[in-house]
Structure 1
């Protein structure tokens, strides 16, 4: 179904020509020598381009000062940009079906050619963390949300003082946000916005975004969180989603993902968001780097905050998590990753935090091979049923919907 949908609707990134003549192209390191505003187009350029594409029948899905995402039927994209754009399977990822887009030839805008620097086929993304792995040994200790996240982050004192994220607008760019009983029980304020009109905001097919949102909201439970859904199960659109996040003008944009192969334009979008006063965080994990030849690229744009992992043992001993990444940037000389770290599991398995997720989602199905739950009834990564047996029945009933309580029984 997903493949058929995107066979009928391709996606492209349009990069306007800058007023200074500078072009980032495939060299994000230029951001070390030039300010982000030097890559901005002349005032009114983005509006002119967006209006022109809309008049041709294309959908303008997202837009910022430095880029536009458009979608449309392959024949229409070919008419406007020279060649059709269709989905192809990523042959390097074997455990799940992942698709991305490819153009049949060079892309060039027929409309306002003088205003367009380049037209790009967007890269796909990949999630960092919440791996499908065997459970921890029985004598090990899982971290539970929200209490253990509050403890490890040292947020208890702030919470006691009334600092709980009130008035802070956070956008998380991820796979979606399922209406989980955990979120409802804690009264979290959340909304979901799709990055593309073809994405369903009501579901989180992969389950990663639901899990990551629970970790963020554990520490800032009163923040206003908007999830920009960037993916379905086999397609993802990180640039469009990040552009959509910038459009919402938040205080913070949180991203726990990277891209499949290099996506230079994303660095410009990030740098411009930071210029606008938005705090941007990107995860660095799962062995990813920004080495130019790497398949799995983490994002280490200057002035964005990169986040690594620390494992805290039952005795309180802290060590760098070998599941997270630490490297010297290949794209930005002198840049060291990460800037700070949060709780993370370790190799070989990585299970550490009990995350709520959408029952039957990709991560729930993967973990069912190890945690003893059925592929479509878990809703927690790892093993919901094992953790529930340790909780008092009245605790569980007070925090879950009737449906979840019936499932627990």
Structure 2
């Protein structure tokens, strides 16, 4: 039987960009995010299906037909012979630790990438259909029903997260996220007893290129999903297990028509002032989800990374705030997390990251929130053992790990978004973002992973500050919806 590693070393997972009917290009120098009209980038009616048929006729497997691109895969030899090019095996690290932290290697996955010095030729019979095609690298993940006890300061789900984000008063008003669909593409979603013990509506499905829906070999998705329920305990949750192509997983999740999407992953793009072409299909998929489908989309800002899509103006970019045990004037002391990203995007002029923050631990490893994982998976085994802060003090097969990062912050904030959607159906994504920013708690101490220093009011490391569910709820009740309902269809 072929293993997943062997399959990744012999299979190209790609996005084929459909040729727009207008003659415009998604690869033009100006970003698609700066275009007010996506219609100019759409292909002619029927072109996507004809393109899929043409790719299948050549022997490729088509996994998804999207508005702007087709997700597919095929053997390495077929890719190289079709496009008269060569690809090579590279290794990617899944764990989203800060890029300047030297540590033992986390989970490594192989993938096939284009050799930059090699030519790439579009076949004549595909030229009318496909503008360009790119292999897709894997993204970084910015990462018993009763958890074990450890000796150092940490938070526990759901109660500690709900307390610090001030979700409890909203729950007490009967607003718990009920009836709001939240989707999350990630590494997988193991049916941990924690979710059944709390009676959460926790569901999992597969992206078209993923397998083994009941397992989460890495553990990231299973863990971070718990943060959503801490903020909004009655949401309808669906996790989409990601295969090799993150763009495909995002499109599959958007096709479920959720009200909210949360994404704890991305790509590190330091020093770039133009988006790499292989990410253009993902950029357009995100824009379509927000602007045309009315989905509120949250992305992690990164753990010292210059993260995309977390830098996109259309998304809610979520950074990190650390809350310690110290109380000042009857409240806990807040400070910017030195593990979380903050930066001004060079790709999207005028865009600062983050917008708002969730709860994130501190460097070097942000071991902060006790979260459920599949027993013995990558996270469970790699962090186990004594020696905090390098290790989390749990057993290697107990199904619990202490982690955080902006991977935890994004689903926390997504849960608060779900509360707002229940309180005021029809809020647009930009209204939700504005409400979160206007109601956030100011954070005036600490610095981010990039060294930006917090101060009074809106600042570099935390944006508007730590999300405040209670204040956001009060503000949302008075907002006037703009007519686009982002509730899922009634059951």
Q: How far has the Cα of 1:127 moved from its partner? A: 0.7
Q: How far has the Cα of 1:53 moved from its partner?
A: 2.4
Q: Does 1:159 pair with 2:171?
A: yes
Structure 1 residue 240 and structure 2 residue 252: aligned?
no
TM-score if structure 1 supplies the norm length? 0.82
Tell me by how many angstroms 1:254 deviates.
0.7
Asked whether the equivalents of residues 259 and 298 of structure 1 are also in contact (C-alpha less than 8 Å), the reply is: yes
Question: Out of 281, 300, 315, which is 2:311 matched to?
Answer: 300
Q: Are 1:378 and 2:398 matched, yes or no? A: yes
**Deviates further, 190-199 or 14-23:** 190-199
Residues 1:204 and 2:216 aligned together: yes
Match of 1:123?
137
Secondary structure, aligned partner of 2:248: helix
Structure 1 distance, partners of 2:62, 2:88, is 18
Does 1:228 find its partner at 2:240?
yes
Correspondence for 1:356: 372
Cα separation, 2, equivalents of 1:319 and 1:179: 34
Deviation at 1:319, TM superposition (A): 1.2
Q: Work out whether residues 328 and 335 of structure 1, in 8 Å CA contact, stay in contact via their aligned partners in 2.
A: yes
Alignment of 1:87-236 (within 5 A): 87-90=89-92, 94-103=105-114, 105=118, 106=120, 108-109=122-123, 111-129=125-143, 138=151, 140-231=152-243, 236=244
Structure 1, unaligned stretches of length 5 or more? 130-134, 291-296, 384-409
> In 2 relative to 1, CA 57–354 (structure 1 residues): closer, same or farther, beyond 3 Å?
same
Query: What is the deviation of 1:221?
Result: 2.1
Please report how far the alpha carbon of residue 28 of structure 1 lies from its aligned counterpart in structure 2 after TM superposition.
6.3
Native 8 Å contact 2:8 2:111 kept in 1? no
CA distances 1:151-204 after superposition (whole Å, capped 9, x unpaired): 122211221222211221111011111110101111222322222435322211
Deviation at 1:31, TM superposition (A): 2.2
- 1:221-269 Cα shifts (integer Å, max 9, x gaps): 22221111124xxxx4211211211222221111011125553332121
Paired position in structure 1 for 2:350: 334
Q: Which stretch shows the higher mean deviation, 20-29 or 279-288?
A: 20-29
Distance 1:300 1:38, change over 3 A: farther
In structure 2, the partner of 1:278 is 295
Contact 1:267–1:299 (CA under 8 A) maintained in structure 2: no
Quick one: distance in 2 between partners of 1:324 and 1:28?
Answer: 29
For residues 100 and 173 of structure 1, what CA distance do their matches in structure 2 show? 19
Cα deviation digits, residues 260-312 of structure 1 (max 9, x gap): 5553332121111112211111001210115xxxxxx5532121110001111
SS of 1:325 mapped into structure 2: coil
Provide the C-alpha distance between the structure 2 equivalents of 1:109 and 1:162, rounded to a whole number of angstroms. 59
Distance 1:330 1:12 in 2: 26
2:261 is the counterpart of 1:253: yes
Cα distance in 1 for partners of 2:245, 2:30 equals: 19
Secondary structure at 2:156 match in 1:
coil
Shift, 1:55, TM fit: 4.0
Distance in 2, matches of 1:209 and 1:97, equals 17
CA contact (8 A) 2:367 2:392 kept: no
- Structure 2: tracts of 5 or more residues without a match: 94-98, 270-275, 386-390, 404-491
Q: Say if 1:28 and 1:267, in contact at 8 Å, map to a contact too.
A: no
Flag the 1:136–1:162 CA change in 2: closer, same or farther, 3 A. closer
- Count of residues in correspondence between the two structures: 366
User: 1:7 — aligned with what?
Assistant: 9
Q: What is the alpha-carbon distance in structure 1 between the residues aligned to residue 30 and residue 179 of structure 2?
A: 34
Greater Cα shift, 162-171 or 102-111: 102-111
